A and B are shown apart, each in its own frame.
Chain A
């Protein structure tokens, strides 16, 4: 018995030793013929990079400039990657007026454009669900594929609207295209609930991350460090709102569509094998601007502001309107408030 035990221990030790040796050999084979000499230094740096929250200012600066260089090489456009921290005394909240939303999906595509999402395979952070009015909010009746007859590609008119949201007005004089003639929204007897990250105050996705690659910032935004994410997708399983999306393939982002205003924790281009999600347009909101979805919404159903400021729009909504949060029973405490403006 004892012998067997020692044998087993021995074999385990040998296994460990062998695996260490083989790992070293792999490392040497990849990029250590002379110490780190034959290796692309950027690859080594990215591999050895510390966790975002542990980077010193000078290290962070180096990382950001490195990312900008990478972007320039890959897309041929100069970009600015910032890592602006949260403003003090700010907790972001979002309001969405369910009695106004018409399900036009402009927010979905404005978000894709603003946040440099992969166009192929298409990743969309906002999902607009259509519900039949007679059933109420019953997720088993939800349909995200309504009016799907078109080619799935944006028309030139639609691109113009995304580039210049003010050009949609006056709303009642919009030109009609042949493509949209067969289906217009809102469809009779239906209502629409757009769903994206709910920026929970008690986020289950953060709890399950085995490597702390995702966390809640002081202004309430749940962010991901794409350099730290190992792609295990536990967070996607934990999220009750389906708000997280995985890059199964190398994300494809046409060079002419790159939004050069980037944030390290937000819309910088992602890698294959990492998870991404809505960040309330962190690159905009930390500079005081409204998120892209708020600015595109043609009916003004989307509201955004500081929950700690009693004069903000979102606070006046919470004081005056009927507000609901999704899946209240899960105690995730979303900071995304649906309300009825009527």
Chain B
């Protein structure tokens, strides 16, 4: 008897769960869950890490850190930090004790190739659009395997607004030969 009750409650729980899932879908509100099934079969390319710096642990020893919020004066002075600089600094994203990783607000350590999860913590609507392919770029097949690009392929994580770039050549203005009457009048 108890067995039946347990199975019944499990089934009803499952149904409720499914129903809530459907509701969430209908509202296009996607609750951040563990590695989303959307990513299955979709490759993200390797993150654009500078070989001059990566792996970071060649300099930054694991397990050691200076937590003091400060202006860097010796190294990494080339980094222009313009990403809510008033409220944030390096160790809000970079894991203090393992510099080869990033860390989420939850404390979970992630690799650089999952950095989109870090960005998605604040940029929710953009993250949602990126997952369905509205924001950002995809290459590959429109009906099959797609390659995503990471946020950091286009946006400098330290200064994310897109900077103006050089355009490709303009079309040639049509320059007509002189009209017949013009030629005659010459």
Contacts and interface: CB of A to CB of B under 8 A. Distances in A.
A316 interface: yes
Interface string B136-151: 1111111110000100
B181 to A, nearest CB: 21
Given A104-B167, A180-B166, A184-B165, A298 B154 contact: yes
Nearest to A126: B171
Contact of A185 (B138, B154, B164): B164
Interface residues of A, number: 63
A153 B142 CA distance: 32
Interface string A185-206: 1110000000000000000000
By secondary structure, the B interface counts as loop
- Candidate in A145, A171, A319 with the most chain B CB atoms within 10 angstroms: A171
Contact of A145 (B132, B154, B163, B173): B173
A184 B154 CA distance: 17
B154 A154 contact: no
Contacts of B163: 172
Interface string A81-95: 000000000000000
Interface string A328-341: 00000000000001
A170 B152 contact: yes
Contacts of B156: 170, 172
A158 interface: yes
Contact of B170 (A146, A166, A313, A321): A146
Contacts of B170: 105, 144-148, 150, 152
Interface string B51-93: 0000000000000000000000000000000000000000000
Q: Which 3 A-B pairs have the closest CB atoms?
A: A180-B166, A300-B137, A148-B170
Interface of B: 28, 45, 48, 129, 132-144, 149, 152-156, 159, 162-173
